[in-house]
Structure 1
């Protein structure tokens, strides 16, 4: 009876039980596979998130660096413009001051001439006529005698035509005196050149002529300095 009962149980119970166990095993394996797939997906999501964050940080750093560079460039440009503006203002102020000084010296020309004539008369002990007085003073301050630049010796090489020329005088030269200087230099140099006229009261009188790199100092200050050196 027991054997019959065992056979009946094996036929009717064992097989369903094994099938149930197989299904359970398959379900567990499926859950395990699903868990592994889910874990892999989570890992991929985390990696993608990290990649996106790194990319975002990199782009943010680039934007920040670009903005910083642009801000620095703007600041440097602004500073340069301010320096240029300051230099322009100073240059204009110097130019205005020089023009005002020259204007005042020009207006004082007659007074300076009168004082110079009085001093000359006292030194030489004789009275000069008006024409001689005027010629003496004009020659002293302009460095021009008989239509020639006195400091430039006759026949001396001055420089090639077209070389830049700077003429410095103690008082502003009149338009007539400037024209005389231009004619004399053009004749000596074989052609016209660009001439700049400057005023420096410290040279006292005469002219300082610069042609290119060559300097001819016919100023009173220069003559006194050379005299001092010769006597030393």
Structure 2
């Protein structure tokens, strides 16, 4: 203290000031500095948390945007697939409807043709007697003599059915008519009776060496009837030919 006194410093006052400073420093540390540091630390932690939350939020937004883009692309793909499927189904339905319509038209036309053919055959069958009478009259005028009933009947049957003396005069003797089993179409000017059809079947079976499928058609433009194997071909190309009864040439 004496040394401080020599220097003009009051030692007690200086000591009291030091004590006061320490007390003030301690008080400031306890009541001001420590709360301030705690507040700053809390602020720093809050800022770090906000920064972290912002990064997390940005990442979540990016993930949401990517998911939205994926869902949108998937929805577009599904929509395109549904559209393509619907278009294919609509096209298939339209094609099926058109095919059914064409089939119905074909069925109607076939039924109409069948009905017309049956009606024509019926009318020709009803007119058979009149046509026969005209044919006999014409024959009598040509040959200049009167034919008895039996000869008239034989002449008419031979002309319209191609059957003479119980045999079918389709081809001359020695000409091939094809093997058995070849489908055959017989076209006559007038509908053949069941007896005449049986005669044709029997004679052709004998000529062909066996039974064949025979279809009978009517064409008023044919004189007698026409024999036509159905589209088959042998080595002599005879099965493609059509031979008209009463004609000298092969068509």
- TM-score bracket for this pair, using the shorter chain length: 0.7 to 0.9
**Residue 137 of structure 2, aligned match among 118, 134, 138:** 118
User: Is 1:8 aligned to 2:34, yes or no?
Assistant: no
Name structure 1 gaps, 5 residues minimum.
Answer: 227-232
**Residue 183 of structure 1, aligned match among 189, 202, 213:** 202
Deviation, 1:25, is 2.5
Q: Identify the structure with bigger relative contact order (alpha carbons < 8 Å, sequence gap 6+).
A: 1
Q: How does 1:106-185 map to 2 (within 5 A)?
A: 106-185=125-204
Deviation, 1:50, is 2.4
Provide the TM-score with structure 2 as the length reference: 0.79
Q: Distance in 2 between matches of 1:216 and 1:148?
A: 19
Consecutive aligned runs of 4 or more in structure 1 exceeding 6 Å deviation: 1-4
- Deviation by residue 1:171-190 (Cα, 9 ceiling, x = unmatched): 11111111111111111111
CA RMSD across the alignment: 2.6
**Residue 65 of structure 2, aligned match among 38, 46, 70:** 46
Aligned match of 2:228 = 210
- Deviation by residue 1:141-176 (Cα, 9 ceiling, x = unmatched): 111111222131123321111111110111111111
Aligned match of 2:40 = 21
User: Is 1:104 aligned to 2:126, yes or no?
Assistant: no
Q: Distance in 1 between matches of 2:36 and 2:170?
A: 134
Provide the TM-score with structure 1 as the length reference: 0.84
Name structure 2 gaps, 5 residues minimum.
Answer: 1-13, 233-238
Q: Distance in 2 between matches of 1:113 and 1:170?
A: 12
